[in-house]
Structures are given as structure tokens and as C-alpha cells.
Amino acid sequence: MIDFIYILHYLIIFLGIKYYNRYIKIKNKTILIDNKSNYNIYILSYGIKGDSSYNLCNEYINSLDIVKKCNKLIFLKYHTKKNNIFNFKRALKSLGTPINDKIIIIYNSSIDPNNMLLTLNNFDYNFIIINIEQVSRKIVLNNLLSIDKNNCKNITLCDYSYANIELLKNNNIKSMLLPYGIYKNEIYNFEKNIDISTISFKSEECVSRRSHIYNLLINNFKDVVDIKGWVYERDKLLFRSKILINVHHFTDYTIFEEIRCNRCIFNKIIVISEYSYKWENFPLKEHMIFTDYDNIINKTKEVLNNYDYYHNLLFKNLKYV
């Protein structure tokens, strides 16, 4: 009997430590505070672990008008595995019952939409689900179809891309546009002393559409930098670049990568991208260059050889709102 009590005692201590640690992992992290309005916004980035989630979404989130007008932006930190809803629920429960506050859920393809909706229906909050994936991918479209089909009144579906919204509209899904805007803290006036940059194109593991272009670039140009990292570690190189090359990752990725490229355009980097779905409707199309995938190298040579001309042409009328 005494042995059983000892075992039970240590089991309780073990479980207490285990669940205390899980709580610590989802401790709220305030990332922006101002006093412009009377509501808070909570960011819950489902399926992306730890600080990488903050790094991935923070720049886009801070560029949104809805965030600029809020009183406090709180990033709900939590760890989760694919389709594991436990910490997702716990993070929401940790908020208590905020009044008139908004919770933004960043959607990515690791979300199980049915589990997510079952969870959200248990909370009386105002949810904004922002899709940051490419709807041209079947898995993304099918999951958004599922979310829309089972939608409840306290959920608003939003998207970063006009082209995505057009694809959703073709599938009878209504979504509100929240484009990547100007975030003053990431506007730099660096001297442009790097000829050409790519972002995570270089790959030693496989030959992809991006790695193929990267290999062509380094064989045709002397000054090519493949940039990795986050925030200033990345931007101190990226925003010194004259030209950024943008290429879709796979053939089913056909939406222009606005979250990656808009901030570069705002920093007056010449973005050369392969054609994308509905590219002609992209609001900043007059301040960048679209071309065929097979013409990227030739177009890059032309622009680099006439850099001052193209820089003036693309940015002389660029206005910051």
C-alpha cells in the first residue's frame, strides 16, 4: 500500500511538470503595442512551431491596416504536431473571454480544417482566418472549400492575394483581401551594391525550378547571392540588392509571391518574376517586371546592363501611402 502511494505521488509530480511545461510553451508573447483603438488582436499560427512562426508571419501581420489600428497585438505561442488540436484549444482557453477582440488564425496546409472548425465553434470570439498559401494547390483549395462549407457566423475568411481570391470566387468562396502593405520599420535606404539576389533558391538535395534558375544565374553573372535567414539578418543583404529573382517553387504554385516581393518593391529593388496567375491585376505590376520562366536569364542581363534606366522607369512614380 505504501509503495502504491509513493508511485502515485511521483506520477502526480511527473504529470504536473509535464503539463506545466506545455503551458509555458504557449505563453502569450506581446509583439506590438500602441493606443490607436480599443480592441486587441491575437495571432494563432497553426502548425508552425515556435519562433519560426513569428518570423514567418510577423512582417505580413504588421503590414495590415487592421493590425495598425488595434490596441495590442499578441502572438499566441504554442507547439503542436500536425492534426494535434490539444495546444490549439489550450492557447485559446488561456485568453479567458475577451470582449470585441479579434483572433487571427494564419492558415497553412498543415491545418486539418474539420478539427479547426470543431474547436472554433466552442469559442465565442471573432475569428479571422487568413490564408497565406497558394490556392492553385489542390490541397489548399480543398481545405478552404471545407472551411467555407462549414463556416460559422463568427469566422471571416481573408487572403493576402487578389489572384487567390479570384480562384476562390471561381469556386463560390467569398474571401476578403488583406494585401501586404507598407510597414515603415522595414523600409531602408541601403545603397544597392549586390547585383542579383534570390531567396532560398540554392539546393543541394534536389533539382527544382528554383535551383535550376539559380544554377543558370551563377553561370551567367558574377555577383549572385542566395539569401537565407530572417528579419535583419536577411534584410541587410536583400535590401542592398539591385535585382531580386522570383520563381515559383513547383508547377502547381502559380500565384505571385506577394509576401516575399512586395516589401522588396517598397525598398526599390527591381523584382523580376515569372508570369503568375492574374499577374495583370497585381496592384504593383507597374513597379516590377514579369517575364517567361525561360526568359528570366536574358531579361536579367537586359535589366542589369541598363540598371539606371529600369530603376528610374519602375520607381519614379512609386508612392508610399
pLDDT at residue 31, rounded to an integer: 34
Question: Hey, do 25-177 and 184-315 end up sharing a CATH topology, with the first three levels equal?
Answer: yes
Please report the DSSP string for 28-61 in residue order.
Answer: EEEEEE--SSS-EEEEEETT--HHHHHHHHHHHH
| Helix axes 86-93 and 2-25, enclosed angle (nearest 10) | 70
pLDDT at residue 260, rounded to an integer: 92
CATH architecture designation of domain 184-315: 3-Layer(aba) Sandwich (3.40)
pLDDT at residue 46, rounded to an integer: 52
Q: What is the pLDDT along the chain (321 residues), one digit of tens a residue?
A: 444 344 333 333 333 333 323 322 333 333 333 344 567 787 776 544 445 555 667 778 888 877 777 777 777 655 444 445 556 677 777 777 666 677 888 877 767 787 778 778 777 778 888 898 999 999 999 999 988 877 666 788 999 999 999 999 999 999 999 999 888 888 998 999 999 999 887 776 667 899 999 999 999 999 999 998 878 888 999 999 999 999 999 999 999 999 999 999 999 999 999 999 999 999 999 999 999 999 999 999 999 999 999 999 999 999 864
CATH architecture designation of domain 25-177: 3-Layer(aba) Sandwich (3.40)
> Where would I find the H helices in 84-133?
86-93, 113-120
What whole-number distance in Å separates Cα of residue 178 and Cα of residue 182? 12
What whole-number distance in Å separates Cα of residue 292 and Cα of residue 224? 20
Give the cell for residue 271. 523584382
pLDDT at residue 32, rounded to an integer: 34
List the chain domain ranges: 25-177, 184-315
Report the predicted TM-score, pTM, of the whole model to 2 decimal places: 0.82
pLDDT at residue 190, rounded to an integer: 95
What whole-number distance in Å separates Cα of residue 115 and Cα of residue 305? 53
pLDDT at residue 277, rounded to an integer: 98
pLDDT at residue 217, rounded to an integer: 98
Kindly give the pairing relationship between strand 224-227 and strand 270-274. unpaired
Give the cell for residue 302. 537586359
